[in-house]
Amino acid sequence: MDQILLQILNGLDKGGAYALIALGLTLIFGTLGVVNFAHGALFMLGAFCAVGLYQLLTLEMVSIDPNNMTPWGTPAEIRQPYIEAWFGEAGSTMLNFAVPLSILVAIPIMLVIGIVMERGLVKHFYRRPHAEQILVTFGLAIVLQEIIKVWFGANPIPIPAPEAVSGSADIGSWFGFAENAISYPWWRLVYLLFSVAVICAVFAFLQFTTFGMVVRAGMADRETVGLLGIDIDKRFTIMFGIAAVVAGLAGVMYTPILPPDYHMGMDFLVLSFVVVVVGGMGSLTGAVAAGFLLGILQSFASMTEIKSIFPGIDQIIIYLVAVAILLVRPRGLMGRKGVMEG
């Protein structure tokens, strides 16, 4: 039972990342009809917003300590981040909360990147075949990756979670198990809650705001909404920006789980596309549901008992499920009729 609870949590946690990326992908596909292969790169750019802020906050002033010698016979260096030297306790707190602070930095940056990307490149490919859209956005992803590689290097850069949430939570005791029977890293719980909060916020935005209502109407019938005198293109551009923000925030919060490197977007992109296809192209709820479902399935497939019967199943489970679902229901779990069909 404890193992099942742990695997569910583990799956929800992975699923949270899949769902956030797939949600952004579906938003773009649903509004603009563009298959955005640069979406993984947006996830990566979000993570590097956190890296950039962290590196800025950890810039160090170096002084020499003549009373302390190193084992190789030179005076030891004293290194202290400027932010701590200038602001003391407040500086240390800022450093400690670098990841949550990065959210504030990432939102405007990702919004601008999304809008520039849509206006500068993607809009020229609206009426082109999906294959061309995939090629051009994939090319853009490679360009963005290489820029990050040149700027930040190719090695993963570890970013710590705030100290208060860096250990693990004794979640077993919450459910009446013995002490320390089930522990789960705090930050992964934070990530899970964060992804649920972002997903709810996006749905609420689309459901309860006038802007969202118009966008939904535009997704259903773009021409009619345009005939009503609404500048639907402008709203769709903003939706592209919002999708970029969602991917970016998924990246920012993922940094303490896995040190970011320039290639991290590609690693998630393929899985996220499988999630979108399983959920149904163009279905926001489908993307979210499939994200969590596949995350949990992947997690259960890594259990010793399952792997002893099907060796290597953890590596291929997602693809097996995708094949099975597409055979039975070609438009995906919640796909709309006519989308990417015929």
Partner 1 sequence: MSIIKTGTSRRTVLKGGAVFAGTALAAPHLFVRRASAADYLNAPTGSTVTLGFNVPQTGPYADEGADELRAYQLAVEHLNGDGDGGMLNTMKPTALKGNGVLGKKVEFVTGDTQTKSDAARASAKRMIEKDGAVMITGGSSSGVAIAVQSLCQEAGVIFMAGLTHSNDTTGKDKRANGFRHFFNAYMSGAALAPVLEKAYGADRRAYHLTADYTWGWTQEESIKNSTENIGWETVETVRTPLGAGDFSQYITPVLNSGADVLILNHYGKDMVNSLTQAVQFGLKDKQANGKNFEIVVPLYSELMAQGAGEAVKGIFGSANWDWKLKNPGTEAFVKSFGQKYGQPPSQAAQTCYVQTLLYADACERAGTFNPCAVISELEGFEFDGLGNGPTLYRAADHQCFKKVLVVKGNENPTNQYDLLEIVEEVPVEQVMYDPSIFGGELGSCNPGV
What minimum distance in Å lies between the beta carbon of 332 and partner 1? 24
Amino acid at 177: F
| Token digits of residue 284 | 């926001």
Q: Whole-angstrom Cα distance, residue 55 to residue 104?
A: 16
Piece of 27-35, 48-56, 226-234, 256-264 that binds partner 1 (CB under 8 A): 256-264
What minimum distance in Å lies between the beta carbon of 231 and partner 1? 42
User: Interface with partner 1 includes 165 (CB under 8 A)?
Assistant: no
Piece of 122-130, 151-159, 227-235, 284-292 that binds partner 1 (CB under 8 A): 151-159
Piece of 40-48, 49-57, 214-222, 251-259 that binds partner 1 (CB under 8 A): 251-259
User: Interface with partner 1 includes 253 (CB under 8 A)?
Assistant: no
Percent helix / strand / coil, the chain, rounded to 5? 70, 5, 25
User: Interface with partner 1 includes 266 (CB under 8 A)?
Assistant: no
Piece of 9-17, 89-97, 128-136, 239-247 that binds partner 1 (CB under 8 A): 9-17
User: Interface with partner 1 includes 146 (CB under 8 A)?
Assistant: no
Which long-range contacts (C-beta less than 8 Å, at least 24 apart) are formed by 231-239? Answer: 235/211, 236/31, 236/32, 236/118, 237/115, 237/118, 237/119, 237/123, 238/115, 238/211, 239/27, 239/28, 239/31, 239/32, 239/215
Q: Whole-angstrom Cα distance, residue 318 to residue 310?
A: 14
Exposed/middle/buried for residue 276 (C-beta within 10 Å: 0-12, 13-18, 19+): buried
**Sign of the CA dihedral with 96 first, then 102, 105, and 107 last:** negative
Among 88, 158, 226, 330, binds partner 1 (CB under 8 A): 158
User: Interface with partner 1 includes 155 (CB under 8 A)?
Assistant: yes
User: Interface with partner 1 includes 303 (CB under 8 A)?
Assistant: yes
Among 123, 233, 314, 336, binds partner 1 (CB under 8 A): 314
| Token digits of residue 305 | 């008992």
Binding site for partner 1 (CB under 8 A): 2-3, 6-7, 10, 13-14, 70-74, 76-77, 153-156, 158, 166-168, 170, 180, 182-185, 187-188, 257-259, 264, 267, 298-299, 302-304, 307, 314-315
